[in-house]
Amino acid sequence: MSSTDVYKARSAVAVAARRKNPDQLADARRELACANITAAVEKHLAAAPPLTDDQRRRLAGLFTGGASK
């Protein structure tokens, strides 16, 4: 995802809020959260050294809800 995706998702939140549609607003907020998380992960992975298999598994666990320390 690019910063353009984040801007589009923000716009969708604003449109849904103006229309006062709670279902559309919830969906738009979920998409915005996903766009923000994706942008942050991509930014940090681009600057990080290659991850080990164990590190990749731990990060994947965060997204599946099964992560443990």
Give per-residue pLDDT as tens, 4-23. Answer: 999 999 999 999 999 999 99
Q: What is the mean pLDDT of residues 26-55?
A: 95
Q: Would you say how long the chain is, in residues?
A: 69
23 in a domain, yes or no?
yes
Identify the residue with better confidence: 63 or 54: 54
Output the CA torsion sign for 66, 1, 41, 25.
Answer: negative
The burial class, CB within 10 Å (0-12 / 13-18 / 19+), for 35 is buried
Share of the chain above pLDDT 90, in %: 83
Mean pLDDT of the chain: 92
3-state SS assignment for residue 43:
helix
Structural domains in the chain (count): 1
CA gap 26, 29 in Å, rounded: 5
In a domain, 69, yes or no: no
Residue 37 pLDDT: 93
**Domain of residue 16, residue span:** 3-64
